[in-house]
Each structure stands twice: as C-alpha cells, then as structure tokens.
C-alpha cells in the first residue's frame, strides 16, 4: 500500500482533529518536507533518532552506453539522496515487530 501526502495529512488531522485544521496540518507537512529538501540541498544531513539519517552522496561521473545505438553517453557527477534506517526502525520492521 502506498501512502500519499494527502493520506498522511488526513491521518494526522484525524488524530488531532479538534485542535488543528486539515489545511494547517497540510501546511506543516509541506513545511517539514521543504526544510528536509533545503537541508539536503545544502549538503547537510538530517538525523531523526529512532527513525534514521537522511543525507546525500556524491556519485562519480561515468560513461554509460545508449542501449539502442550503443553510443557512449557521459553521465556527470551528481548528488543523490540516501537514507539509513535506525536500529529501532529496522527492528520494528522484522516479522512480529517490537
């Protein structure tokens, strides 16, 4: 099952229903996601205890091949997001959970 941002907003707003509107929860979720993106773009890492660490990794440049024409294609170096789950998260995903 895939959970979308709208599903996440719905779940959170149901749990705190009388206090915060769905629109406000949506803004908070978007602010969180924007801050995560900004932090990763700056090259910093994000550590959330009990969940994991988000950071970026530099991929080296390489020469690939176009599968159709077999021509070489230069792929420049680039940063990619990486996520390392915490021990607590890994343990909770095991059969039977925690």
C-alpha–C-alpha distance, residues 65 and 74, integer Å: 8
- pTM for this predicted structure: 0.78
Domain locations in the chain? 1-44
Residue 9: its H or E element: helix 5-15
**Which is more confident, 51 or 94?**
51
pLDDT at 16: 80
Q: Residue 94 has what pLDDT?
A: 86
Of 47, 49, 46, 73, whose CA–CA distance to 61 is shortest?
73
Contact call for residues 47 and 27 (beta carbons, < 8 A): no
For residue 25, how many other CB atoms are within 10 A of its CB? 21
Percent of the chain clearing pLDDT 70 (strictly above):
95
pLDDT digits (tens, 9 = 90+) for 45-79: 999 999 999 999 999 999 999 999 999 999 999 99
Q: Evaluate whether 36 touches 45 at the Cβ level (below 8 Å).
A: no
pLDDT at res. 97: 54
């Amino acid at each position: 099952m895939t959970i979308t941002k709208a599903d996440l907003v719905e779940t959170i707003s149901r749990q705190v229903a009388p206090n915060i509107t769905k629109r406000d929860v949506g803004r908070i979720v978007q602010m969180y996601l924007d801050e995560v993106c900004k932090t990763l773009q700056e090259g910093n890492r994000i550590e959330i205890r009990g969940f994991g660490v988000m950071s970026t990794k530099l991929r080296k440049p390489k020469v690939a091949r176009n599968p159709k024409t077999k021509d070489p294609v230069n792929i420049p170096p680039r940063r990619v997001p990486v996520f390392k789950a915490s021990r607590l998260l890994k343990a909770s995903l095991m059969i039977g959970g925690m």
